[in-house]
Amino acid sequence: MRKIIFIAFLIIIYSTGVRAQAELFKNQSKIFKKQKKIDKLKPGWNNDLIATLHLTQTVYHKWKSGGSDIFVWFIKSNGSFIFDTTSWNWTNDGSFVIGFSKQGSEEIRKISDQILWESVLTYKNKKYLNPYFSMDIRTQSGPSYNYSSESKTMVSSFFDPAYIINGLGIGYNPQKTFRIRFGLANRTIITRYFHDYAEGNAIKFDSGVQLAAYLEKKFTKNLLVRSKLQIFSSFENIEDGNISWDTNFEASITKYIIINFQAYIILDANVSPYTQIKEVLSVAIKYKII
């Protein structure tokens, strides 16, 4: 009798496991089909524009152990505008981020400000490896400051600095979800007052090589990962590459509410001898414009 019960128990466990695996494969199949739709570009324009509002708040009321109220908010917008034909692919990616914080009785402070625009024109001569021409622009929308207990010091402003990189080389898979390219590049650093970003010059030119890689993939139904890696190395200091790596994990709670985690790494010897790292965890309201 015990053997019969044990065997029945094993059959139930096994059948439950088989059903769970079947359901898992079914869900993965749905995600894979959706991903293929994202991968596939239709002829003409393929546009995507999303805006998010990120909020963080801490409030104290009669808190004996001390502390001050803090409110952090920033707006982020990402856009992708791709024109695709049988022979050409013109991909335009842009992002804009600006954020502020208010702590206690202190004045409102800007904590984030960045404008990025990238345009890549690819001639689709082969199935995988194709020649491209690109232009990248990175700057900010307004003044940024370093704060001390007594004063604040402006450290950068609009187009001060601005980084412009023109590239020419070979690209792999010109599509929305994954792209990588490598080639020769020329970088121009433009400043007005803060010449330290350009090694004491108002304008600085560098020639070298550039590697850029992009990933936008849904790993589960509610988890989207966007990652962008850019490396530029000048011929003068080929071993000291300038690295910018921005990765965002976006978990959807509802259609409009998301939890976002950002890890942003910058390595630029002109700005700092150290690796700069920024981590942001936030709850955001998401709205798809296009």
Which pLDDT score is estimated for 65?
Answer: 72
Q: What is the pLDDT of residue 10?
A: 54
Q: Identify the CATH class of 43-288.
A: mainly beta
Contact 78, 94 (CB under 8 A): yes
At 224, the amino acid letter reads L
pLDDT of residue 20: 52
The parts of the chain modelled with pLDDT lower than 70 are 1-39, 174-176
Give the CA-trace dihedral at 213, 95, 176, 134, to 10 degrees: -60
Domain extent listing, the chain: 1-40, 43-288
Q: How far apart are the first and last CA of the chain?
A: 65
Where helices occur in the chain by DSSP H, the ranges are: 2-39
Separation of alpha carbons 130 and 125, rounded Å: 6
Which residue in the block uniquely carries the two structure tokens 């910018």? 244
Please tell me the predicted confidence (pLDDT) of residue 248.
94
pLDDT score recorded for residue 162: 97
Q: What is the pLDDT of residue 185?
A: 97
Q: For residues 154 and 118, is the Cβ–Cβ distance under 8 A?
A: no
Q: Please report the pLDDT score of residue 239 as a whole number.
A: 82
SS3 for 238?
Answer: coil
- What per-residue confidence (pLDDT) applies to 247? 96
The model's pTM: 0.82
Q: What was the pLDDT predicted at 35?
A: 46
